[in-house]
Structure 1
């Protein structure tokens, strides 16, 4: 009976976490296909309306690791609730926005919701039976790609039936419901890291991320050789180096640099960066290719809804492979699964670079790409969670998600520059621009495969169960890292009820 109650509790918790992560993932891409509609309705320019995307990207990049760290310190459940409330309030403000300035502000508030992913990973690690952590983390991670794909697919039908403001009303309803459910149903965090949040590292992290992402996002428009682009990217490098030095010397670092140097962490983060390049590039430019009028000599003149459907195979396969990635990792090892995902993604992206004649070719390409993304995303997040101490789960997984976002900004900017480098008489890009762009993305994923080959093979031992507990090798970072690595005393267990719950799990 106790086992059944415990299992029901984990399922309820996971349902709540899924709703929160799913709402955030949808909001990443829901507005992408309807920017022209928003531009016309709010009487603004094309350059200005792109900040509806950029503001969300910048805010999420700043708040994802910070909210993860705050959750590690004061409790993941309460910060998860606060993050969902911010996401819901941002959605409400966006739905009511009567001008572009208010809408951009609302999107920046929504970006705080980026913290839901690392916080959800931390809650899973704290609350789930150890043998189920890998599968749950992998499925939540795959939801980021699934939600991004579904956002593009669903945007057209929602706008056609209800209007573009329902792109914010619907996620708001789901988000507030998830926040309420999390408050009452998700247990308080038993693992915490006593300490404080240092202001200077957080400020430096925010500034260099903003400089980097604005530089890459605006480079296709400003020009890669313009003074603004070079100035921002140079400032980003200088500030990032300064941030690293400040973090290394801080008594209570926001992000422990020793943790970031763990072999399983830095290699997985590198793979995540390069997969971000491929994922965001595909999301942005596969629909654009399909929407190109056939009079350009390629493309299919598809509408918003039909263009989104091209990504449906990617979304479905990412979700399906996210469900089985944990079992595959237990059998073959995390490294093998990530490497397989990279190789499959390279093949699919190479196919997309040249297969442009019929729509079925694009459906096949995006479907196979979803297989690669599903295997890699699910397993990478599990690798990060298992590679660090429990007290650093939130901030470590937050940085991993953030690095993927940075990769996305880089990939989208490079792809945009390549595709638009050769415009035809009609002002439309030449087909060769897409061929070269998707080839570049395939190259990035090929480098990701090389990085995946460097992931420590010992990581696979964390998923093997011996005598009811996962077997850990003596050099497993999560076991060997001292409590001081968290920037303070070791993690604490909160209250008798939490201790009883932890004892029940064991």
Structure 2
């Protein structure tokens, strides 16, 4: 394939790979009742088919991001897609819940591919395409989570549980082939891609302890010694990891970048919005499936419940394309705050109006506009503030924060609904409370975006001799723009990205 055609296809292939990996990783949610039935397990036990994917995704994001900052970026991207493909095969052939959880864990690696794709886009695409492509990749990784609900529900209804996982293996295999053909090798380019093994282990243990406690808090009891012990262990390990990262010569994540207002506000908003997003996803899919005989709900099938989230995914992708115009007119901080408020409006709308199924579609559409704008804006703010050689690492940490928010949102929804039970199931008041809480959380995110200004301080200094092509510098109204620099031929091995 000639260089011009390869360059034109690189962006679409990266989006496809990110979207496919995200869709496959979200296959657990709508299939949980089927998993419980087929493997004779409780719903809480079957929930691990989703939880394990989120756990692995949270750990793999910074690892793949750091590896992607070096010369092995293409090999890491291919390896990640290969693991996702193998995971689909293992899940499809599983004869027990344990094997299924292993397969789902392998598929969860796909959630860590987004920062890797962003780093690749920053390096390989023309200057004018980098900022919008990074925004699109960020939104694709989130939109895929919503798209996975209807896709997996429809396939499972038509072909059974194993059919859904065989489909996942096939499409991830296709993405693997396309990446192998289109994405160029990074061999000989700057960066070592050296992995901080101690930091990886500490972060993995901290996230596993914390997220397992969050995921099982409702089932085991939030006041139980096991949950409290896991939370305490997670916090201690997280503190130890932070100290180790600040002292390491080649840390997994450059935590000092959090001193930059753009990075701090972006990660803070990602945590809060991720929590709100999963609260709504969990609540609305359960609400529409609730039997009408209970006085609320629409007795919808899992497929219909999944279709309710289609407007979320479509409008997240669509609204992200309007980001450059909005930022040019309003400024990045205003756009981020307004996006959070639009997301709050969506949750508040369905909390008040939930008597007809079409209102659920409207709610997810409004939510998609708000989240599409915010999730597209945040990566640009972060990328603009960090050196080019730290793009994968910074985006990996951003993904960790966002997945932590997803897990917190899922757990918070379960806790609220468990407190409002009547006749063996949650009440309408429980779902309404979840929606109001999610709307309030989005309002908090708007305040964070506004009062913690996402303004660039002095850009990080570029190391002597570093190449600057493809780096992102502050543009008009805080919008990322590319800094011109030497051509690819003038690159020198070992040069790091800078500003």
Considering the TM-score relative to the shorter chain, is it more than 0.5?
yes
TM-score normalised over the length of structure 2: 0.89
- Structure 1 stretch displaced more, 118-127 or 35-44: 35-44
> Aligned-pair distance for 1:191?
4.9
Q: Distance in 2 between matches of 1:148 and 1:178?
A: 17
Task: Report the alpha carbon displacement of residue 131 of structure 1 after superposing the two structures with TM.
Answer: 2.1
> Aligned to 1:197, what secondary structure does the other structure show?
coil
The question of 1:96 aligning with 2:93 is answered: yes
Q: Secondary structure at the match of 1:73?
A: coil
The 1:448/1:352 distance shift into structure 2, 3 A limit, reads same
Q: Is the Cα–Cα contact under 8 Å of residues 76 and 119 in structure 1 kept in the other structure?
A: yes
Partner of 2:63: 66
2:425 corresponds to: 428
Q: Counterparts in 2 of 1:188-207, with a 5 A limit? A: 188-189=185-186, 191-194=189-192, 196-207=194-205
Partner of 2:46: 49
Q: TM-score, normalised by structure 1?
A: 0.88
Q: CA deviation at 1:346?
A: 1.1
CA shift, 1:252, in A, is 1.7
Does 2:475 correspond to 1:475?
no
Shift of the alpha carbon at 1:436?
1.2
- For the structure 1 residues 481 and 91, does the alpha-carbon distance in structure 2 shift closer, same or farther, using more than 3 Å as the test? farther
Query: C-alpha deviations, 1:282-315, integer Å up to 9, x for none?
Result: 1111010011111211111111111112222212
For residues 309-351 of structure 1, the C-alpha deviation after alignment (integer angstroms, 9 at most, x for no partner) is 2222212211111222234234433222211110101111111
Alpha-carbon shift at residue 247 of structure 1 (Å): 1.0
Match of 1:319 among 295, 311, 317: 317
Q: CA deviation at 1:201?
A: 1.2
List runs of 5+ in structure 1 lacking aligned partners. Answer: 460-473, 484-492
Match of 2:479 in 1: none
Aligned to 2:445: 448
CA-to-aligned-CA distance 1:126-148 (integer Å, 9 cap, x gap): 01122211111111111122211
* Partner Cα distance (1:133, 1:53) in 2: 32
Contact 1:207 1:239 in 2 (8 A): yes
1:93 Cα deviation after fit: 1.0
Query: What is the match of residue 156 of structure 1?
Result: 153
Secondary structure at the counterpart of residue 70 of structure 2: helix
- Are the structure 2 counterparts of residues 495 and 449 from structure 1 closer, same or farther at C-alpha, using a change threshold of 3 Å? closer
Which of 209, 234, 237 is the equivalent residue of 2:235?
Answer: 237
The 5-angstrom pairing of residues 8-407 of structure 1 reads 8-189=5-186, 191-194=189-192, 196-407=194-405
Quote how far apart the aligned CAs of 1:47 are.
3.0
> Aligned partners of 1:195 and 1:21: how far apart in 2?
21
Deviation at 1:479, TM superposition (A): 5.5
- The total of aligned residue pairs comes to 473
**Cα distance change, pair 195–499 in 1 and its aligned pair in 2 (3 A):** closer
CA contact (8 A) 1:121 1:385 kept: no
